[in-house]
Amino acid sequence: SLEDMCDLHSTMDGKEALQYLEDRRTTGLSLPDLVLLDMQMPGMTGFEVCGEIRKSFEQEHAQLPIIMVSSRTPAETVAIK
């Protein structure tokens, strides 16, 4: 399974995700190798969280990769039918 190969951590909203990253930074742990964000999360959008990550965490970690996903797409814009 993926959990056997990777250290996975999930959060339920943007504020919790930002707090997780801040906690890692303040305890001297490295930031994750990748962040996967839903564009529509409770509290903060994925775009807002991405902006905060870019503003607050880029100095220590040159370019933290962020993948944005969304499950809400109009059927006519889906590439594969």
SS3 labels along 1-47? CHHHHCCCCCCCCHHHHHHHHHHHHHCCCCCCCCEEEECCCCCCCHH
CB contact at 8 A, 54 and 18: no
pLDDT confidence of residue 39 = 87
- What pTM was estimated for this model as a whole? 0.77
Bridge-partner residues for 66, per DSSP? 35
pLDDT confidence of residue 31 = 86
Q: What is the pLDDT of residues 30-56, one digit of tens each?
A: 888 899 999 888 889 999 999 999 988
Confidence of residue 59 (pLDDT cuts 50, 70, 90): low
CB-side neighbour CA atoms (13 Å) of 43: 9
- 3-state SS, residue 61: coil
